[in-house]
Every structure is written in C-alpha cells, then in structure tokens.
Amino acid sequence: MKRILFVCLGNICRSPAAEGVLLAKARERGVKVYIESAGTGAWHVGDPPDPRMIKAAATRGYDLAYQRARKVDPADFYEFDYLLAMDLANHTDLMELAPPNRSADIRLFLDFADCETRETPDPYYGGEGGFERVLDLIELGAAGFLDHLEDESE
C-alpha cells in the first residue's frame, strides 16, 4: 500500500481536497492507498478545511469534513512514499526541508495529470469558481496518479 501526503500552503483548500478526491477515486478503482494532507505553513493547524471547499467537494460527492489541518513534519519525509505538492512554491519548500536521505518521492501533483498546467492554483482569495476549477484539476491529477500507481505495481 502506497502512502501519499498532499501538501499546500495552509492545508485548508487544495491539499485536503486532493486527499478527499484521491481517497474516493482509489476506492472506486480498488487501489489501496493511505492518504493524508499537510501544509508548509502552520496558520490553520487544527482547523477544518475551508467551508467553501467542503461545500464544493460535497456537491461532487467528496467528504472533507473529517479532516483537520496540520503542518508538514520531518517524519513525513520517511513515512510517506510520495509527497505531492500542489504548486511550485510548495514543491520548492519541500525540497528545501527534505533531508538528503529521505525515502519520499517529492513531486508536483499535476505532473501526473493530462492538463495544461503543472500548478493547482490557490482558491482561498477568490470566488466559488476557483474552488470548482481546483476540483477539476484535482480530479485530473487523481486519475493520472492512480494510473501511475497501477503501472508501477505491474
């Protein structure tokens, strides 16, 4: 079973959505994974995801309400197989924090997606449309990442 950690800035919008979407899509496809999410910043530790993201995800059948924000921990670089950053800034932060002997593969999540962008934009300061766009991208990323895991296991 692969262990995946999604990482964004505050762990209240993008990475919790990615956790919820990938968990649901993996169950649909029968792929066994362990998934968490975290932030590179600590502003929202202990908080639930942004209510706008919870609502947008729920309209698509994804449950995010159980999640609570946390900050990336040094142990994450050893306890997870993949640390998937939602954007280049968080990828850079992870690479700077990463110990040289880490076991985790640190990647941009959308590098697994068949889409025009490598970054999942932060919808925090925008309107509802931004949350829908993020979910669209995450669904593409989840499909591509699950394809990758299935190919890897063959």
From 8, 13, 87, 93, active-site residue:
8
Decide if 122 is catalytic: yes
Task: Let me know if 14 is a catalytic residue.
Answer: yes
In angstroms, the CA 27 to CA 30 distance is: 5
Q: What are phi and psi of 127, to 5 degrees?
A: -95, -175
Q: Which of 3, 107, 122, 147 is catalytic?
A: 122
Q: Which of 13, 14, 70, 93 is catalytic?
A: 14
115 is catalytic: no
One-letter identity of residue 92: T
For 5, the enclosing helix (H) or strand (E) is: strand 2-8
Rounded CA-CA distance 77/98 in Å is: 7
Q: Which residues are catalytically annotated?
A: 8, 14, 122
